[in-house]
Structure 1
Amino acid sequence: MGRGRLLYVPFWAAYAFLYLPIAVLVVMSFNSGDSAYTLDGFSLKWYGELAADERIRDGLVNTLIVATGSTAIATVLGTMLAVGLARHTRSKTLDAVALMPAVLPDLVLAIGLLVFYGVIQLTLGLYSVVLAHGLFAMAFVAAVVRTRLAGADTSLEEASRDLGAGPVATFMRITLPQLVPGIVAGALLAFTLSLDEFVIAYFTIGNSEQTLPIVIYSMIRFGVTPKINALAAILLLVSFTAVIAGQRLTRIGESRAQD
């Protein structure tokens, strides 16, 4: 084996370390037995039991509400933040502050939000999680949209202003259409992040309602079952689909910008 091929050994070993547990989880979700660790045969019964579990259904509904609301907030504010930083206020300090929620440990952000909600006397519930997830995902949306802005043609904006169009008309007719692939990619990323985010939701939701990750956490405290594997497999499918769709849209936007 040549030296060039030896370089692929750690590469594939890293991929195996990352994705082999996921593959095992998906396979075990089709287990016909009651054990989460021994494959007795293949069956779809655990997926059927998921649909019949009221607690999981309620958690899924709450998660979709939170993910949809926080995605809307993060997409609008993240896009405005990206445009402001890239076109109007260029500052490395502001760039660092804007991206801080993305790099801060989830635990620190969750405790900070919990303290802030206490100071303003905000009752915890789904809306508090929506606001928290919106803040968390906003930084990721801003980063994705800024990447798209870097490849946008600024000459079109300059021509629009030279022809007498105001800032709002220029943004709506010139800038925004160029940003659509990046905005959609950022929205999909925000939705995926909110869908399986646990720490921030756990600290900011209160005791009356639960999102799906919190439901899963409460279930695995008594042991992992094939039902948990089936639920995790579905979440993986949704997350992978959203991420791949976001990457595809980003590439389409980049190829159109180059053309």
Structure 2
Amino acid sequence: MRLRTMSGIKLSNWLLGGWSGLVLLYLYLPILLLVAYSFNDSRMSVVWEGFTFKWYRQLFDELVAHLGDERRSPLIESLSNSVIIAAITTAFSVALGTAGAFLLYRYRFPALRSITTLIFIPMIIPEIIMGISLLIFFKTVELDLGFTTVIISHVTFCFPFVLIAVQARLAGLDPSLEEAALDLGATPLKAFFLIMVPYLLPAIISGALMSFTLSMDELIVTYFTRGPKSETLPIKVFGMAKVGLNPMLNTISTVFIAATAMLVVVAESLKGTARRLPDEG
């Protein structure tokens, strides 16, 4: 009887393990193929002709030329625009999301539920509706389309993700931590930065990574709110896909995958450090 039970457990473990493996394969096989084809010698993105590093050398040369302002590659220019917009968007989203979550946690005022619902609407509203509404708004206030309008648009739907992450972290906060700091003579501002910020750092990092990723990936809202000089990488890729993909896109995507993996490792390290701070205090 025991042997039958053990064999049944092993069989279920094999089945669950196999199913998990298939799911992971389904999720990561396209990414692995993209990385493999970034070393493809062919100019056709889906026809393998041999192994090469030439696309990485070309990417490096174009980056050096771009930084030296010798010649402007449209692809590198759009990549640079995306990184700049995503970085600024992340900074504003973290500031607004963290401050908003703390205010909603600390204070109680009329229409709190309605305000919270309004904040979360940009997360669920269809992107095309948001893009059109923002375009109408910018035209109404006579704000020229460009970097400013794209950043405002991205912050609009990115900061709620930071707010939700910080709110979830605040739900488990022990009020005695801040009270102890105040009793020991710290000012409210000092207590916030020395106690609250380290405690909230894991949520802030998670929200920042989400904001940066969403901003880098955004296509539809950017399409409606961009200007002639603020074209981002998704917009450029969308235009290039109509006439054939450049092999450089595989190379840039692979570099981004590697950079994202490094960011996740660093973020997990920082989050682990932040979790230990309250206990050490």
What's the TM-score once normalised by structure 2's chain length?
Answer: 0.81
Contact map agreement 2:146 2:227 (CA 8 A) in 1: yes
Deviations 1:195-227, CA, capped at 9 Å, x for gaps: 222222111112343112211222221112322
Distance 1:40 1:3 in 2: 43
Distance 2:255 2:16 in 1: 34
Identify which range, 240-249 or 98-107, moves more after superposition: 240-249
Equivalent residue, structure 1, for 2:263: 242
Contact map agreement 2:201 2:271 (CA 8 A) in 1: no
Q: Alignment partner for residue 20 of structure 2, among 11, 22, 39?
A: 11
Larger CA Rg, structure 1 vs 2: 2
Counterpart check, 1:59 vs 2:68: no
Distance 2:75 2:28 in 1: 26
Contact map agreement 1:56 1:212 (CA 8 A) in 2: yes
CA drift at 1:155: 0.4
Contact map agreement 2:38 2:250 (CA 8 A) in 1: yes
What percent of counterpart residues are identical? 34
Equivalent residue, structure 2, for 1:74: 93
Equivalent residue, structure 1, for 2:168: 147
Distance 1:136 1:242 in 2: 22
SS in 2 for 1:116: helix
Contact map agreement 1:151 1:254 (CA 8 A) in 2: no
Identify which range, 98-107 or 125-134, moves more after superposition: 98-107
Q: Alignment partner for residue 180 of structure 1, among 188, 196, 201?
A: 201
Distance 2:220 2:260 in 1: 18
Distance 2:175 2:30 in 1: 46
Distance 1:187 1:86 in 2: 20
SS in 1 for 2:90: helix
Q: Alignment partner for residue 138 of structure 2, among 89, 98, 117?
A: 117
CA drift at 1:255: 4.6
SS in 2 for 1:148: helix
Equivalent residue, structure 2, for 1:128: 149
Distance 1:151 1:3 in 2: 36
Contact map agreement 1:192 1:243 (CA 8 A) in 2: no
Deviations 1:122-168, CA, capped at 9 Å, x for gaps: 11001111111122210111122223323433202223445676543
Deviations 1:69-103, CA, capped at 9 Å, x for gaps: 11111111111011112222384444333233223
Distance 1:116 1:245 in 2: 39
Contact map agreement 2:130 2:221 (CA 8 A) in 1: yes
Distance 1:125 1:152 in 2: 41
SS in 2 for 1:7: helix
Equivalent residue, structure 2, for 1:88: 107
Taking a change above 3 Å as real, the CA distance of residues 165 and 209 of structure 1, as seen in their structure-2 partners, is closer
Equivalent residue, structure 2, for 1:104: 125
Root mean square deviation, CA, Å: 2.5
Counterpart check, 1:229 vs 2:229: no
What's the TM-score once normalised by structure 1's chain length?
Answer: 0.87
Equivalent residue, structure 2, for 1:217: 238
Taking a change above 3 Å as real, the CA distance of residues 159 and 258 of structure 1, as seen in their structure-2 partners, is closer
Taking a change above 3 Å as real, the CA distance of residues 255 and 10 of structure 1, as seen in their structure-2 partners, is farther
Distance 1:98 1:134 in 2: 12
Contact map agreement 1:185 1:245 (CA 8 A) in 2: no
Q: Number of aligned pairs?
A: 259
Equivalent residue, structure 1, for 2:52: 43
Q: What letter matches 2:11 in structure 1?
A: G
